[in-house]
Amino acid sequence: MVQTLNRRNLLTIAAAAGLAPVLSGETAAATPLKFGPARAFSYDDLKTMARERAAKPYVAPPRPNPEIVQRIDYDNHGKLRFDKDVALFGSGPGAYPVTFQHVGRYFPKTVRMYALANNQAREVLYDPRYFTISADHPAAPLPAEPSAFAGLWLQEAKSGDWKKQEPWATWLGASYFRGVGELGQVGLSARGLALSPGQGPGPEEFPDFVAFWIAPAETDADPVTLYALMDSPSLSGAYRFQCRRTTGVIMDIEATLSFRARVAHVGIAPLTSMYWYSETASSRTIDWRPEVHDSDGLAIWTGAGERIWRPLNNPPRTMTSSFVDAAPRGFGLLQRDREFLHYLDGVKYEKRPSAWVEPLGDWGRGAVQLVELNTDDEIHDNIVAMWVPETAAEPGQSREYRYRLHWLADEPYATPLARVVATRLGRGGQPGQPRPQGVRKFLVEFKGGPLTNLPKGTIPEPVLSASRGTFGEYKYTEAVPNDVPGHWRTQFDLKVEGNDPVEMRCFLKVGDQVASETWLYQYHPGA
């Protein structure tokens, strides 16, 4: 199973820890950061460390007193505010200050932190006085050892009023991390690695980032460089993140993985998001909002150049879809619907970022794999998209991957073709006539590209296929009557028996020319 995270609560933690005032009766910490002795460090050293670690039995990262940590729920975790006056790189060199996060119920494992300067690393030594911990707070009884750091935040540049702003990138919990999109919101998460998510029958293995080495950016135009050590029962890994604050966030990521055990499904550059429902299959009877999702589709740019849009599902059971490819050009979980009236929610789903994975170098053969879990609420991440190499990883083997991760409003390399902007389902048949059993109507909207300036009287032709079932004779394509140039919709019926999923495919063409990206959809007749 894919790990589920309480998303709305985690956003509450971020807001509380970043912006809430000091509670009455509390005093801010005034203890400056303390450091351990300096030791030489390089990325090659880290890769050697990971390789040597993988040759030894796995040892889990320390956990401070579990009974105490369990009582640090999301409300109490939000009160554990790091004193920004003592932030790493908050004064002196470094354009972007770094603050740290405390362990809690949802982040019980510790992470060691190191500051880098002149190829020397010094550990940031934990002290509870870095945090606002009142005498009656559940964390108050925790001793100073072992360290209670759980993660880190990259704050906005010191050239601005950074102490009143939320962070632009965070690493917190297992190997999860996220960036701010260009619309100023966080939403979906990325992970360092995913090991056989959704494959069962046992629980999924979640690798941890157990240590970070942080190098400052000289100016706010330069990248912050983070190095991370990953560890889990199956592997150890060395990561390098070069993070740039742009209109959104751009991360250049390198990973060297050394395997302790055989892993059949290695998920490279995994993205994790939430999809409850959208216009495709509304849930008005269980919630007042028209749509609730962080992402509404998986976009793929294949090695052969095809552009694919796969609307997300909230399936009746866990489903894994594989899109076989070689040397993919990119994939991502996107939030295309940007209309507030489609959500009506103050948490700003319409501004959630899209995340796009751009492979650097040839990733060989494999598949973009999409795992979708059923959910009955918005608090759980139920979507994972990742690249899965064709061959399993074997004990003693090492693999290297490089990619660029874009946190933006849209995919960074726009297609010249029309894009899918909505998928809608309804009852099959025609108004005023008996509705046939087992028939579902589909309406797919496309916009832009070659559809924008069609000669008068030209109507795009839908090209349809399905893994099973029969399309009805009635197929209809028209310009959407909203006076928006290039906005078209096609509708068709599909008759199918039984409840097994149906894989569907559609694109528009004008004459002999492809005019749109390819719509792929997994239809669940019994849902």
pLDDT at site 1: 44
Non-local CB neighbours of 292 within 8 Å, separated by 6+ positions: 276, 277, 278, 343, 345, 349, 378
How far apart are alpha carbons 349 and 291 in whole angstroms? 9
Task: Tell which wins on pLDDT, 59 or 432.
Answer: 59
pLDDT at site 35: 96
pLDDT at site 14: 43
- The pair of three-digit structure tokens given for residue 116, joined into one six-digit string: 């880098």
pTM for the whole structure: 0.93
pLDDT at site 28: 45
pLDDT at site 282: 67
Kindly state the percentage of the chain with pLDDT values over 70: 94
pLDDT at site 214: 98
pLDDT at site 22: 31
Task: Tell which wins on pLDDT, 10 or 305.
Answer: 305
Domain boundaries, the chain: 7-408, 419-523
How far apart are alpha carbons 31 and 19 in whole angstroms? 20
Q: Is the peptide bond before 201 cis (omega within 30 degrees of 0)?
A: yes
Number of neighbours of residue 260 by Cβ within 10 angstroms: 20
Average pLDDT over the chain, rounded to an integer: 92
Kindly state the percentage of the chain with pLDDT values over 90: 85
CATH 2.60.40.10 for domain 419-523, yes or no, is yes
pLDDT band at residue 160 using 50, 70 and 90 as cut-offs: confident
Q: Is the peptide bond before 146 cis (omega within 30 degrees of 0)?
A: yes
Q: What pLDDT digit, counting tens, does each position of 384-399 carry?
A: 999 999 999 999 999 9
pLDDT at site 283: 66
Does position 223 have pLDDT exceeding 60, yes or no?
yes
286 Ramachandran zone, left/alpha/beta (phi>0; psi -120 to 50): alpha
pLDDT band at residue 196 using 50, 70 and 90 as cut-offs: confident
pLDDT band at residue 30 using 50, 70 and 90 as cut-offs: low
Options 2.70.98.10, 2.40.40.20, 3.90.1150.10, 1.10.1740.10; CATH for 7-408 is 2.70.98.10
Reduced to 3 states, what is the DSSP secondary structure of residue 442?
A: strand
Location of structure tokens 């995919």: 411
